[in-house]
Amino acid sequence: MQYIDKIKEIVRLLKESQKTLALTGAGISTESGIPDYRSPQTGLWEKHDPIKTASLSALKKDPAQFYAINLERWTAYNNAKPNPAHYALERLEKTGLLLGVITQNIDSLHVKAGSNRVWEVHGHLRTCHCMSCKAEHDFSNLAARFKGGENPPRCLKCSGILRPDVVLFEDRMNEDFFQATQVISGCQLLLVVGSSLTVYPVAGLPGVAKQIVIINKTPTPWDEEAAVVINESAGRVFRDIMAELGEQLPGELGNTAENH
């Protein structure tokens, strides 16, 4: 099937589906300047062992090293801007063709793009909390304390160590994940965007959907089960999907994406 025929088929599936969701991974955010995790040579986990650097045990064992390795990268995530793929999913939700987005990303770009229904199954970087007294703080407070020389950043109330509200390796899944497993029940069409579909339990979610479409630069374990597979950048594909639908992205705001 030629590329343009795949775009037309995705649009047909979108129009016919009564319940469509998107499942997004790191690949949707690369055009916003955020590196993905598993691409050969360039993926973040090619450079760092996540169990040694981004796990709950790493945080507890050496919180200062944990923040020295991770915080600059996370702060850059918070400075990134949505790209055309994020805006397209927001627009599909507004037009009623998409129920919402289940995302593995912690970068808040779906929220920034204006999507209303977003299940952030690996958490986010908007808030943090104290590991001792559980007091909640803005993530910006954690970042500012670290930038001011406080490592590890500590709670203003009890001096306990702060941690971001993300799901680290070895953490239990969060409430958004359990909500997502309920929301996806009865899903007729799942748009998988920028996910390698190798990280469980999230990688098992496509098995619930009646049909899946995969938009990812590299192959995934679910490709043979998909109605359509496109190995292209998410931004290009969604620009073409929206054009086929006769929809324009808001001011092509994706062109303002910053690199970090």
- The domains of the chain are located at 1-34+83-122+173-260, 37-79+124-166
**How deeply is 236 buried, as exposed, middle or buried, from its count of CB atoms within 10 A (0-12, 13-18, 19+)?**
middle
Q: For residue 223, what pLDDT band results from cuts at 50, 70 and 90? A: very high
| 166 DSSP β-pair partners | 123
Instruction: Please indicate if the annotation marks 130 as binding a ligand.
Output: yes
Residue 230: per-residue pLDDT: 98
**Is pLDDT above 80 for 44?**
no
Residue 161: per-residue pLDDT: 95
Instruction: Please indicate if the annotation marks 155 as binding a ligand.
Output: yes
Q: For residue 117, what pLDDT band results from cuts at 50, 70 and 90? A: very high
**Is pLDDT above 80 for 253?**
no
Instruction: Please indicate if the annotation marks 133 as binding a ligand.
Output: yes
CA 103 remoteness from chain centre: 4
How many CA within 13 A on the CB side of residue 128?
25
Neighbours of 220 (CB within 10 A): 21
H/E stretch holding 15 reads helix 3-16
- What is the CATH architecture assignment of 1-34+83-122+173-260? 3-Layer(aba) Sandwich (3.40)
Q: Which of 48, 86, 110, 122 is catalytic?
A: 122
Ranges of beta strands (E only) in 121-254 are 123-130, 136-138, 162-166, 189-193, 211-215, 228-230
> What is the domain class of 37-79+124-166 according to CATH?
alpha beta
For the question of residue 122 being annotated catalytic, the response is yes
Q: pLDDT tens digit string along 130-154?
A: 999 999 999 999 999 999 999 999 9
Residue 73: per-residue pLDDT: 86
Question: What mean pLDDT is reported for the chain?
Answer: 90
